[in-house]
Structure 1
Amino acid sequence: MTSESKEVLLAEAIRLRDQGRLEEAREHLLALATRFPDDAEVAYRTAAIHDRLGLESEAVAHYERCLSGTGLSDENRRGAFLGLGSTYRVLGRYAMAVDTLRLGVSQYPDDGALQTFLAMALFNIERHHEAMQILLTLLATTSHDPYVQQYRRSIEHYSKDLEETA
């Protein structure tokens, strides 16, 4: 790797990724991660390329490093919570997925994707009621479907207690 700036090298890795040259991008990002081990942005991009290639086990350490560091944009921090939580879930580490996604939702309560992935992880640990509550609330508050909106109050009401019938 040359003495080019981190920004130039990171842009090159992103260009490779965008061109579909994923393995080359991964190799480039791994070299960057070695050169800049404390850089949260590099760790995030490295984690994400591993995820995209289906190398979830290898992505975990990079996600953990980027979330423990500083300097990550809000957008990428959201992505890191979702990526790590989803990766834990895919690996069958459901409790860790729930913990990670809950932390993400607590920091970004308006993020419907984080809420959705949290609901999936909750389903995996058989917390079905809580998963449904999250999904029904999300549906009621974000759907533009006129038929969902017609019944929004009822959906929100029953999301609190699905066992209630009256």
Structure 2
Amino acid sequence: MSIDEMMEEAAQLQAKGDARAAIGVLLEVIEKQPTDPLVHEMVAKSYDRIGQEANAVPHYEQALEHGLDGDDRLHAYIGLGSSQRALGRYADAAATLDRCLEEFPDSYAAQTFRAMAKYNEGDAKGAFEYLLDLHARTCGDDDVRLYRGPLQLYAEDIEAVYE
């Protein structure tokens, strides 16, 4: 079976909800093309779908190392950071998401996951302030937009008292 046929088979298995079988096929593709970043990303996402974050992490890392780019790179960073966070590797998750935000500073999803990592690192105040600022900047609700300035001020220090 050719690589293209194997990739098609893996896609069909994914579409049927059989991530485990898709992983088996994709791992065979990796044996033939060990530096293909897209295949590594597909394997990582498949492992995530079945709750095997520990198996997903090295494939996200390989995908990024082998030159994944564009939106795929953004999503691999987020997947890696999310998996690391779910595994209790909070410092790793924070570092991954910081690297992601260096490359993709406008990613609201990455900013949200970074706030979660802040919380897990024990910085609940910082996480809340981060999310409050994100919400104030991105929410389309008219009432929230009306209070954007004050909300962003509070996001700088939620515990500040003004006289």
Overall identity of the aligned pairs, in %: 37
Contact kept? 1:50, 1:56, Cα under 8 Å: yes
Deviations 1:75-129 (A, max 9, x none): 1111111111010111111000000011111111111111111100110111223
* Residue matched to 1:108: 104
Counterpart pick for 1:21 among 18, 21, 25? 18
Q: Number of aligned residue pairs: give it.
A: 162
Pairing 1:11–2:8 present: yes
Q: Which runs of 5+ in 1 are unaligned?
A: none
Does the CA-based 8 Å contact 1:122-1:131 persist in structure 2? yes
Instruction: Report the Cα offset of residue 7 of structure 1.
Output: 4.1
Length-normalised TM-score, structure 2: 0.93
The code of the aligned residue for 2:51 comes to G
- Give the structure 1 partner of residue 41 of structure 2: 44
TM-score with structure 1 length normalisation?
A: 0.92
How many angstroms apart in 2 are the aligned matches of 1:100 and 1:73?
A: 16
Report the more deviating stretch, 150-159 or 10-19.
Answer: 10-19
Give 5+ residue unaligned stretches, structure 2. none
| Local SS of the residue matching 1:92 | coil
TM-fit CA distance, 1:9: 2.8
**Contact 1:112–1:138 (Cα < 8 Å) also in 2:** yes
Mapped partners of 2:155, 2:5: distance in 1? 49
Please identify, of 60-69 and 122-131, the stretch whose mean Cα deviation from structure 2 is larger: 122-131
Give the aligned CA root-mean-square deviation in angstroms: 1.3
CA distance in 2, matches of 1:10, 1:77: 19
Runs of 4+ residues deviating >3 angstroms: none
Select the residue among 123, 128, 131 that pairs with 1:132.
Answer: 128
Q: Tell me, in whole angstroms, the C-alpha distance in 2 between the residues paired with 1:97 and 1:36.
A: 28
Q: Tell me the equivalent position of 1:83.
A: 79
